[in-house]
Amino acid sequence: MGEGLVFGPGALVVVGLYLVSMIGVGWVGRQKRQSDSMADFYLAGRSLGLAVLFLTLYATQYSGNTLFGYTGKTYRIGFEWTVSVVFMFSVIVGYMLFAPRLVALARKEGFITPGDYISYRFASPALTLLSTVLMIYALCNYTLAQLKAMGAAVEGITDGAVPGAYGIIALAVIMVVYETLGGMRSVAWTDVIQGVVLLLGFGILAFLIPIKLGGGLENIVAKLGAMDPPKVQAPSLEGANKWISYVFLLGCGAAIYPQAIQRLYSSRSVKVLKRSLAIMAFMPLTTTLVALICGLTAAVVLPDLSKVESDQVLARLCALVMSESVLGYWLVVVVFAAALAALMSTADSALLSISSMLTKDIYLPYFHPDATEAELTKFGKISSWGIVIVLVLVAIGTEATLVRLLELKFEVLIQVGPCFFLGLYWPRLTAGTALLGMLCGLAVALGLTLAGHPLVWGFHAGVLGLFVNAAVCAVGTLLKPAPTD
């Protein structure tokens, strides 16, 4: 097989209804709005309960990269990508290092964006602006990765018959429509549907791919060990360094994703948030691990694909399953819906977050300080359309593999980390020192990357930048005289 899979009319209707239902949910979210305030639009009025909060955290954290990038990466490097299970878990440890204080503070001060916290804590427009710009850059890159994966999904599922650009445009429009209709309420409610579909999709993949195509995990590992031994072997010491680096990169980076922080702000209560995070701690074992197993299966069933082709192995595996039976066909329809869910739920959350930061942290202080809440919300909606148009154009016009895009955004984003991880616990850390640390961290991260050294002894350039950043914060603070009281 390998001729690709073409959905019949029935499957197209199901997928179409699924996508239209997203807009319907967005409309319901709009009807349920309590006011035209930013807190209502961007944080759903801080009203998210356990089921909605957990599923929106889940659907947002597990993105198109999990399905496509991680299966592709496993295809290329084998079991060494088990590190993805470890680093996705580490995001929750990252939350535990700062969320209790940040959430208490956010509820007291009414924060909307991460920039609100930085502004409150450091009272430095320069630090707030730089942090916001870095976070927007990282999120644009993240959204871009999702858009490109949408194109890859459509192209893979049709074996190139439908150009990726059409898929990107259609899905981006649907996403921005429901996002601008009801803001966080619409995004979180669509995330509920998308999260359930995603869980269902991973459940199906866990059984379908390794058993149906690979003859069981033991068989897959035995074949892979014979075909390409390094893919089943324990990593070298430098490889282990890379694992440690990934733990820092994701544990610090993904935990301070603006859309993740805004979900911490949006919870109805701390109790709800605690329960959601406790459940999230187990999700890598039901999600990332499944992507790993699918990637291993592909390495056995579809050997010798190029690097770019390997980011489409999941779609190719689905094509194989789909051709074998009617049941397989419909199961793949669910998996395809799950893939769309993973991409859209992550991209819509990032988009909403970018819009909130542009509005609250840049437009309000620098362009329209007297704006009313309704005016700001309106600007936020317009800016969402603008961002999507720009990102779609970039996504259609560039080429890169998905995982590299993911790494590059974290290189930049984690330089904001010390503002949270140190700023909440170290009253003596000043804005000037934090700003200097951030600039030094950025210089190291970008300098090494641009010089062609994205990894040094297995450590990512961004992580080395973070170490320098934290060291500058520590030394700069300790060199200053302690407060006399």
Partner 1 sequence: MDDSQKYPGLLGEPRKVGYVWLVYLLLYAVAIPWYWPEGYVGSLVLGFPLWVAVTLGTVFLLASWTAWVIHRYWQQAGEDD
Q: How far is CA 332 from CA 14, 197, 346, 437, in A?
A: 12, 12, 21, 48
Residues 170-199 that bind partner 1 (CB under 8 A): none
237 contacts: CB under 8 Å, gap ≥ 6: none
Task: Report how far residue 282's alpha carbon sits from residue 298's, in angstroms, rounded to the nearest whole number.
Answer: 25
Question: CB under 8 Å, gap of 24 or more: what pairs does 94-97 form?
Answer: 94/250, 94/251, 94/252, 94/254, 94/255, 94/256, 95/255, 95/260, 95/264, 95/277, 96/277, 97/255, 97/421
CB atoms under 10 Å from CB of 162, counted, come to 16
Contact status: 284 vs partner 1 (CB under 8 A): yes
Residues of span 411-450 touching partner 1 by CB under 8 A: 425
Q: What is the C-alpha to C-alpha distance for residues 481 and 477, in angstroms, rounded to an integer?
A: 8
Size of the site for partner 1 (CB under 8 A): 50
Under the binding rule (CB under 8 A), the answer on residue 218 touching partner 1 is: yes
Backbone angles phi, psi at 267, to 5 degrees: -70, 145
Q: Which residue has the tokens 């998905």?
A: 402
Q: Which of residues 148 and 263 has its CB atom nearest to partner 1 in the complex?
A: 263
Per CB under 8 A, the list member of 24, 160, 163, 216 interacting with partner 1 is: 216
Whose Cβ is closer to partner 1: residue 47's or residue 355's? 47
- Binds partner 1 (CB under 8 A): choice among 28, 162, 244, 436: 244
CB of 261 to partner 1, least distance (A): 16
The answer to whether residues 183 and 41 touch, using CB atoms and an 8 Å cutoff, is yes
- Does 101 contact partner 1 by CB under 8 A? yes
Tell the smallest beta-carbon distance from residue 368 to partner 1 (Å): 31
Q: How far apart are CA 254 and CA 283, in angstroms?
A: 15
Q: Which two tokens stand for residue 180?
A: 């601008």
CB atoms within 10 A of CB 402: 24
Cβ nearer to partner 1, comparing 156 with 284: 284
Q: How far is CA 196 from CA 54, 56, 285, in A?
A: 11, 10, 16
Residues 62-81 that bind partner 1 (CB under 8 A): 79
Contact status: 203 vs partner 1 (CB under 8 A): no
Contact region with partner 1 (CB under 8 A), list: 153-161, 218-226, 343-351, 395-403? 218-226
Contacts of residue 201, Cβ cutoff 8 Å, sequence gap at least 6: 334, 335, 337, 338, 339, 341, 342
Please, which residue, 225 or 328, has the CB nearer to partner 1? 225
Interaction of residue 100 with partner 1, rule CB under 8 A: yes
Among 233, 325, 372, 398, binds partner 1 (CB under 8 A): 233
* Contact set for partner 1, span 4-43 (CB under 8 A): none
Q: Does 206 bind partner 1 (CB under 8 A)?
A: no
Residue of 22, 144, 147, 232 interacting with partner 1 (CB under 8 A): 232
Instruction: Determine, following the binding rule CB under 8 A, whether residue 226 of this chain makes contact with partner 1.
Output: no
Q: Give the binding site for partner 1 (CB under 8 A).
A: 79, 82, 85-86, 89, 92-93, 96-98, 100-101, 103-105, 107-108, 216-218, 220-221, 225, 229-230, 232-237, 240, 243-244, 247, 268-272, 274, 277-279, 281-282, 284-285, 289, 425
